[in-house]
Structure 1
Amino acid sequence: MAQVLEFKLPDLGEGLTEAEIVRWLVSVGDVVAVDQPVVEVETAKAMVEVPCPYGGVVTARFGEEGSELPVGAPLLTVAVGATEPPAGDVVPDGPGGAVPDSSEGSGNVLVGYGTAAPPARRRRVRSGLTAGGAGQGAGPVFAGPGLADPAPSRTPGGLADPAPLRAPGGSAAAVRTPDAAVEVVAAGSGGPVPVISPIVRKLARDCGLDLREVVGSGPEGLILRTDVERAIAARTEVAAPAAEAPAPVAAPQGHRTPLRGIRGAVADKLSRSRREIPDATCWVDADATELMHARVAMNSATGPSAGPKISVLALLARICTAALARYPELNATVDTERREIVRLDEVHLGFAAQTARGLVVPVVRDAHARGAESLSAEFKRLTDAARDGTLTPGELTGGTFTLNNYGVFGVDGSTPIINHPEAAMLGVGRITPKPWVHEGELAVRQVVQLSLTFDHRVCDGGTAGGFLRFVADCVERPAVLLRTL
């Protein structure tokens, strides 16, 4: 007979602890192959398609689209060895109802989960522990390497309908699994109840909610955050009519957007930056006419000197890395715990990219070692990936300095918030024709406003002003860059 294997949400790296289900790619009853993507999730860093390391028939899915799951929570179960959907509950083979060892996995690894080694054996709890008054004394039952919960049964909707284990006498038995820090103790014992995370337990405690009054909707009666929020809301509705104090003013009605996923991560980072970094901004107008002429000459070259098209952003990035080589104080971060300024050797250049899912900052690795052509190609690759939602967490983290080209939105200037934990950000406004005094005469020139927002802990105004003036000089006279080649 087929064996049922449970696939849990793997560790997606970068310290991520949860993900939102955006779209299921398979349904209950579908046949999946090893390493086939089964669900698309959104983390605080990026959109990720999660592949399943098992091949077989999907027997259950856990979580609706739009819901959040913590790392380690079940995603789905797969009947391995089955070629068609099972007619009823799948009961594992083996003596005593034990599930035999699974076959070797695909060997592929998402951060934190590998399938090269077979999982530990799983067994059903023996019937002597589930019949009222049978078996040994009524005490906690712990699931260790050789003892686990029974496979969840299927419901018409495809989601699992877990039934909690029962100890003699019918009370809920305690279960402890090695990969999920969840405890379920016998009812009335005064111990902890099954909660998916400490955050949920704290939410209930802060609101004065007794978790023993909450019915969990998760696997094995696990109490989820939505269960606690629902119970708090229900209690508030019941208590409101009896309250003697005047009812609080109702919250403004309107469309509400949850701050989670990428949008939530951006909000948290910007808030932290504003709290921790004493920033200052200086700016200057520059005549970019010669820079634009140089770009036209580069892109119109023919013969052996011809090459890929160079973007304005790539030229500005090349100027930026040259300025950081001269003023390395701005390619740094502050270690607040040790009260040290850490000057970084490599320049990993972030750049702001607006997408349908919000603002993201992809990072060009080793920008200091790239020429204009390489920078142009990498900017295009990362921008396309950002718009498609396929950036990896590694491509969105690790920046040391950010280039913010807000001129693409048709604005001249800005005082942006530094991308924590970096120390500075160069802002570039739109390049537009303006009256300008050129060689002693009034002329129409291509003018751009440049701004530098910097952490005043890493340098003073003299260093920041020197950096910005060097950038402006390179914009006005691109030949200055020849000194850095």
Structure 2
Amino acid sequence: MAQVLEFKLPDLGEGLTEAVIVSWLVQVGEVVAIDQPVVEVETAKAMVEVPCPYGGVVTARFGEEGAELPVGAPLLTVAVGGADPVPEPEGSGNVLVGYGTGAPPARRRRARPTAPDRTNGSAAPAATAGAAVHARVPAPPAAAEGPVPVISPLVRRLARDNGLDLRGLSGSGPDGLILRADVEDALRVGATRTVAQPPAGPQAAPDDTANGRTGTRTPLKGIRGAVADKLSRSRREIPDATCWVDADATELMRARTAMNATGASKISLLALLARISTAALARYPELNSYVDVEAREIVRLDRIHLGFAAQTDRGLVVPVVRDAHARDAESLTAEFARLTEAAHAGKLTPGELTGSTFTLNNYGVFGVDGSTPIINHPEAAMLGVGRIVPKPWVHEGELAVRQVVQLSLTFDHRVCDGGTAGGFLRYVADCVENPAVLLRTV
């Protein structure tokens, strides 16, 4: 006789306590195998596909796409047949961060009285009081023909956050697949068939019509919420200061051109700046540190894990290059490319987004010259790099047009004084102006 087992949202590690359902990967009535991914969720760190430790038939799903669930809340129930429905004791080997399938479930449950499953209209066990689900936007009833084909969860989220009913769209992709451009076009011309109503109760936005403060509200959840919390904490705790300098980057650009003319793998400008940064940190290790507030100690770190700011559709993230000080320019280029691709695809793991000791922020890609960024807590400093543009410059006693860049260093004034920060930034500028300076550390 089949037994119904409840699979709960597992501990995803890194201190995460909740996750938002991005997309369901299985339907009620579908047969799933052990360790088959059943749902894609967004945490404050990354997008994660969650595998189910049971094999059987899905009998219910808990939560709509866009709903936020706490760790330990029910995700779905699976009807498992056979004498021993529990996964093999030795486990499947499939492990999430902080979660594995090596142990049997803590308990088994029989099927409980059913109630409508708002996700798909099928019967579902009633949710327990401790597993309340707070949906961001109520999903419309599922059409008889099944889920709407959408190219990615990010496109589905774009539609949901703007109250757009995907069933009112005709996709321009293969077999009617809805693309991001389709959703953006519909939002631009207002071609929506059904607009989701704002949530009722205490979550409802206050009526600001009377005072003229009308607009769109976006919940600070997931990665954007985590970034907001971290930036706020940094601004509260860290007494930061910024110094900056203009540098002639002409020789650095020439050196990169010469490197890439050899026929070997191309070297990125970001990799060269990272190599300069790690050399500077070797000279000024005070900036590769953090302040332990409770112990009232400055902790100087032995290894350099270099974070770099990356703008994505899901917000600002800071992927981390581990042991950047031990990598050459080719290795740095390859790792930057890999992490950037994963960031844009929303596939960075929590481990790839944590543990940085120093951050490189290349805001020049946005076409700006300078910035005073907020330090990536709990680090001690961030190097900012503006755009490299032709400017008048005095070179060897003559006025010439040179490739000039503005460099800035924002630092925690608790870990060092202006002399150390200025020395670090001046060394970086010297390496940019004369890359041969780096040969002393090769």
- Pairwise same-fold verdict (TM > 0.5): yes
CA distance in 2 between partners of 1:29 and 1:281 (Å): 59
Residue of structure 1 in register with 2:190 after alignment: none
Residue of structure 1 in register with 2:167 after alignment: none
CA distance in 2 between partners of 1:161 and 1:33 (Å): 21
CA contact (8 A) 1:430 1:448 kept: yes
Query: CA separation of 1:78/1:442 partners in 2, compared to 1, >3 Å: closer, same or farther?
Result: same
Query: CA separation of 1:232/1:442 partners in 2, compared to 1, >3 Å: closer, same or farther?
Result: closer
Residue of structure 2 in register with 1:160 after alignment: 124
Secondary structure of the equivalent of 1:320?
Answer: helix
Matches for 1:296-311 after TM superposition, within 5 Å: 296-302=257-263, 307-311=264-268
Secondary structure of the equivalent of 1:385?
Answer: helix
Residue identity matched to 2:418: G
CA distance in 1 between partners of 2:213 and 2:123 (Å): 35
Query: CA separation of 1:123/1:36 partners in 2, compared to 1, >3 Å: closer, same or farther?
Result: closer
Secondary structure of the equivalent of 1:417?
Answer: coil
- 1:324 is aligned to 2:291: no
Identity across the alignment (%)? 80
Residue ranges of structure 1 left out of the alignment (5+ in a row): 83-92, 94-99, 125-149, 165-193, 198-228, 241-246
* Structure with a larger share of its residues in strand: 2
Residue identity matched to 1:52: C
CA distance in 2 between partners of 1:80 and 1:363 (Å): 41
Secondary structure of the equivalent of 2:254?
Answer: helix
Query: CA separation of 1:27/1:444 partners in 2, compared to 1, >3 Å: closer, same or farther?
Result: same
Residue of structure 1 in register with 2:412 after alignment: 455
Residue of structure 2 in register with 1:15 after alignment: 15
Residue identity matched to 1:17: T
- 1:74 is aligned to 2:74: yes
CA distance in 2 between partners of 1:278 and 1:108 (Å): 44
Matches for 1:204-223 after TM superposition, within 5 Å: none
CA distance in 2 between partners of 1:152 and 1:301 (Å): 71
Matches for 1:70-469 after TM superposition, within 5 Å: 70-81=70-81, 102-104=86-88, 105-122=91-108, 150-151=111-112, 153=114, 155=116, 157-158=121-122, 160-162=124-126, 194-195=129-130, 232=202, 252-302=213-263, 307-469=264-426
CA distance in 1 between partners of 2:43 and 2:106 (Å): 29
How many residues are aligned here?
A: 372
Stretches of 4+ aligned residues off by more than 4 angstroms: 194-197, 229-234, 247-251
CA distance in 2 between partners of 1:257 and 1:120 (Å): 38
Residue of structure 2 in register with 1:222 after alignment: none
Offset of residue 31 of structure 1: 1.2
Query: CA separation of 1:158/1:106 partners in 2, compared to 1, >3 Å: closer, same or farther?
Result: farther
Deviations 1:421-455 (A, max 9, x none): 00000000000111100000000100000000000
Offset of residue 195 of structure 1: 4.6
CA contact (8 A) 1:101 1:119 kept: no
Residue identity matched to 1:298: M
Residue identity matched to 1:26: V
Residue of structure 2 in register with 1:41 after alignment: 41
CA contact (8 A) 1:45 1:261 kept: yes
Deviations 1:68-114 (A, max 9, x none): 000111100111239xxxxxxxxxx8xxxxxx662425242223333
Offset of residue 3 of structure 1: 1.9
- Larger relative CO (CA 8 A, sep 6+): 1 or 2? 2
**TM-score, normalized by length of structure 2?**
0.79
CA contact (8 A) 2:6 2:109 kept: no
The RMSD of aligned alpha carbons is 2.5
CA distance in 2 between partners of 1:359 and 1:310 (Å): 24
CA distance in 2 between partners of 1:123 and 1:403 (Å): 51
Query: CA separation of 1:481/1:57 partners in 2, compared to 1, >3 Å: closer, same or farther?
Result: same
Offset of residue 53 of structure 1: 1.4
Secondary structure of the equivalent of 2:247?
Answer: strand
CA distance in 2 between partners of 1:401 and 1:430 (Å): 21
Residue identity matched to 1:114: G
Offset of residue 122 of structure 1: 3.3
Query: CA separation of 1:162/1:390 partners in 2, compared to 1, >3 Å: closer, same or farther?
Result: same
CA contact (8 A) 1:46 1:391 kept: yes
Secondary structure of the equivalent of 2:426?
Answer: helix
CA contact (8 A) 2:248 2:432 kept: yes
CA contact (8 A) 2:4 2:108 kept: no
Query: CA separation of 1:103/1:284 partners in 2, compared to 1, >3 Å: closer, same or farther?
Result: closer
Residue ranges of structure 2 left out of the alignment (5+ in a row): 133-198
CA contact (8 A) 1:54 1:106 kept: no
Residue identity matched to 1:350: G
CA contact (8 A) 2:4 2:109 kept: no
Offset of residue 340 of structure 1: 0.4
Secondary structure of the equivalent of 1:160?
Answer: strand
Offset of residue 248 of structure 1: 11
Residue of structure 1 in register with 2:59 after alignment: 59
Secondary structure of the equivalent of 1:381?
Answer: helix
CA contact (8 A) 1:428 1:448 kept: yes
CA distance in 2 between partners of 1:310 and 1:233 (Å): 50
Offset of residue 160 of structure 1: 2.5
Query: CA separation of 1:21/1:251 partners in 2, compared to 1, >3 Å: closer, same or farther?
Result: farther
Query: CA separation of 1:251/1:118 partners in 2, compared to 1, >3 Å: closer, same or farther?
Result: farther
